[in-house]
Amino acid sequence: MNHFLALHAPLILASASPRRKKLLEQLGVDFRVVVSAFDEEAVPTHIPPPEYVQTLAKSKALHVAETLGESAIVIGADTTVVLHGYILNKPHDAADAVRMLSMLSNRTHEVFTGIALVECAPDGSIVNTITDVSRTEVRFRQLSTEEIRGYVAGGSPLDKAGSYGIQDDFGAVFVEEIHGCYNNVVGLPLALLYRRLQEFC
């Protein structure tokens, strides 16, 4: 039990991501997962990336909070990869994953994660909402075609923004340099989340 986070309502993670679940467990707080069914395609990708990920995170959290029927603090999160202002979300298929990784090879890109904390009452009304965003710069080394195709063939990149996971056994060796929060690249900036959760204590 985390004695520094005495939250005044139950905590809920509105995400199906096993990576976010594992990261949140590191904070030592009790929580449960309620997956949001919000349609991510409803948010246009032409808006600035920080706004984009915060909008998605808030929409996911609100979707859960408004139908929960109990007092709770709901965490929503969304992560995307950005190269020269262009958003790279999850690939559509293996060929799209190869295309993205080829674009990222020997370049520096940005990873943005938006978080939203939504406190709700039993009647579904929203008591309080906080959103924030974390940004990390990631530099890839030069990747060979064989490395890219081999990684994609394993299936791991297909459910990840930018078609890679920095925590993967093989995806990790693509990364040459990182500036910013490592956990942000995995999918949940713990230091930022912890500071914002303290506002609910």
* Residues designated as active site: 78
CB 103 within 8 A of CB 83: yes
126 beta partners: 120
Calculate the dihedral angle through the C-alpha atoms of 111, 156, 56, 5, rounding to the nearest 10 degrees.
Answer: -80
Q: What is the DSSP code (8-state) at residue 147?
A: H
Q: For residue 136, what is the enclosing H or E element? A: strand 126-140
For 164, residues 6+ apart whose C-beta sits below 8 A from its C-beta are 101, 104, 151, 157, 171, 174
Q: What is the DSSP code (8-state) at residue 161?
A: G
Q: What is the DSSP code (8-state) at residue 174?
A: G
